[in-house]
Structure 1
């Protein structure tokens, strides 16, 4: 990114001032800070969530898409035990730090033009979240910013905007995460590349928190339906504020889901022998087919889920809690079809970085007093 272009980017999207960062890290004996390479055409997004650490690198491909050139994903369970203690555990922080060191090594091998690295619900809630991120910067050179639930929803909205179609007036976007579920109520404005976020709610239940609190009971009908009712009760207030049910009855509302839960439901509904992102991303499922897939997953039990090619042993404890959240969303908002998005926060970051960079480069150079 050129120096002039960087002036126009919000502070949160600018790379750290390299002299300041180097000096601070040198004093602490830490890793060298990440630095932008203006000659590169690649951008990077790093997302440290409650359950996963993910990195995505891409280059622009038109005005609203990009080509993936590298990626990284690892289950780190950063939020393990957080609900009980309010703190990130030493073991969870060590797992996340190991994954972030791998991300830093990838970025060192493949220079990028701009990077945004964010942390979400686990670091938002943990009393030692800022302390952990300071350690991350010292040991990896990566500066992660804790983002609000609203910004998380905005970024997911930006990533999913290309899946909207003519005739859509509104969209209801949900992201079932590890520590929370984000719901975004969206207005589609003709001629605008990015829709308008009308309202958002962050429900403090996700697949990790639910798994720790009531995971085994989700394998029973009574326990599963208890979670559905708990989550549905939290959503009804948001529904009444925005009259979402009334808008759904009027038509033109698209239900969109971005999370491992909905992509798993899609994989099962499509009877995929193994999960394939290209087949799932953007797929529109009839609600009855998604409901049937949910029933099929529930019937498998723990051993069957562990053996299923779209689930596997690493995710067996999280699938049914996630399905319970999805069932609550369907109960409150009975939209006839579900658009499945295998995209989200990282993709939204990349699209926003690219869009802001293009806008900055189109601006005329700033003329300072006395220079003309």
Structure 2
């Protein structure tokens, strides 16, 4: 059957259409994306502004039309931290439902971590052993660890690249004192969670998902996206540590000129690099592998599991 996953995130609203059935690998058929930057459309009280709600309704309506055009039989719509943390989330969700008919499911941070972990587990398989999975989104950082498809530990922290850039790195390029302050903040937040994972023993494999990690891997020498999802890609901590000060000294426009860095994400790359570096350091990771599947694929896989065999 043809499924559509509508992901309302902090940076983008992304519709992914796949052909899928239980027991088979979901095959991407279409992608429709809008750079909404919902996290930047909050007012001083932390509520989604009227303009932000208008844009969200419009973008969801466009995605719904795209899903219909592509023959989607079932739509799986969800929202993450930008909506979850908004003071007026219930009102905005009600408006989206009333004006588009789409009922967005707001995932908790723990659910994000678990579903992303499921996607990574299915991608790498049981032979990967114990997985440590790290995901940097626009609004939050998710970390999960385990041997099975359900992780033994999963946490979500408010350390998304977009959130941190908006709140703590106003300059372009950012002021060195702001970068140092953000580095301290990020490391203190992550350090509080390390003990929960270290008691479970070392992972057999460390995996990262998300656009931030893919871009960081690309600028440190990983294969281009056009070479396909099955080409192994990795990010080494030593390489990343060399790039962090370079990225911090660049303007957004200069970062956008780097290989694999999109113009829309270039402004967030310093914060994302600081979070990635801190996570790799504090979890004692020398090298991690990039997983092409993440939260959207996890949502699809969970739905297929509930369908059972045909």
Q: Same fold (TM over 0.5)?
A: yes
Q: 1:97 to 1:280 in 2, by over 3 A?
A: farther
CA distance in 1, matches of 2:169, 2:21: 42
1:212 is aligned to: 166
Per-residue deviation at 1:60?
2.4
Shift of 1:53: 0.4
Structure 2-normalised TM-score? 0.89
| Deviation for aligned residue 1:329 | 0.5
**Residues 1:188 and 2:147 are matched in the alignment:** yes
In the alignment, is residue 231 of structure 1 matched against residue 186 of structure 2? Answer: yes
Output the CA distance in 2 between the equivalents of 1:229 and 1:277.
Answer: 37
Please give the alpha-carbon distance, in whole angstroms, between the structure 1 residues aligned to 2:64 and 2:259: 30
**Structure 2 unmatched runs, 5+:** none
Q: Decide whether aligned partners of structure 1 residues 307 and 285 sit closer, same or farther in structure 2, where only a CA change above 3 A counts.
A: closer
CA contact (8 A) 2:229 2:292 kept: no
Task: Tell me, yes or no, if the aligned pair for 1:81 and 1:88 is still in contact at 8 Å.
Answer: yes
Match of 1:259 in 2: 210
Deviations 1:178-207 (A, max 9, x none): 22112212x224xxxxx2211222111212
Residue aligning to 1:283: 233
Which of 220, 238, 259 aligns to 1:269? It is 220
* Change beyond 3 A, Cα 1:276–1:160: same
* Range 295-304 or range 316-325, more displaced: 295-304
Counterpart of 1:173 in structure 2 is: 133
CA deviations on 1:200-249 (whole Å, 9 max, x unpaired) are 221112122211111235734443232222122112222113325x823x
Distance 1:334 1:113, change over 3 A: same
8 A contact 2:3–2:72 mirrored in 1: yes
Largest Rg, 1 or 2: 1
For residues 290-329 of structure 1, the aligned pairs below 5 Å read 290-329=240-279
2:197 corresponds, among 242, 246, 253, to: 242
Name the SS of the counterpart of 1:310 in structure 2.
coil
Paired residues of 1:215 and 1:317 also in contact (CA < 8 A): no
Corresponding residue for residue 293 of structure 2: 343
Q: Is the 8 A contact 1:232 1:331 kept in 2?
A: no
Length-normalised TM-score, structure 1: 0.75
Distance 1:285 1:241, change over 3 A: closer
Question: Does structure 1 conserve the Cα–Cα contact (< 8 Å) formed by 2:9 and 2:38?
Answer: yes
Alignment partner of 2:17 out of 57, 71, 75: 57
The CA RMSD measured in Å over matched residues stands at 2.6
What's the counterpart of residue 368 of structure 1?
A: none
Which of 36, 43, 54 is the matching residue for 1:76?
Answer: 36
Are residue 90 (structure 1) and residue 50 (structure 2) matched?
yes
- Give the count of matched residue pairs: 309
Distance 2:239 2:191 in 1: 24
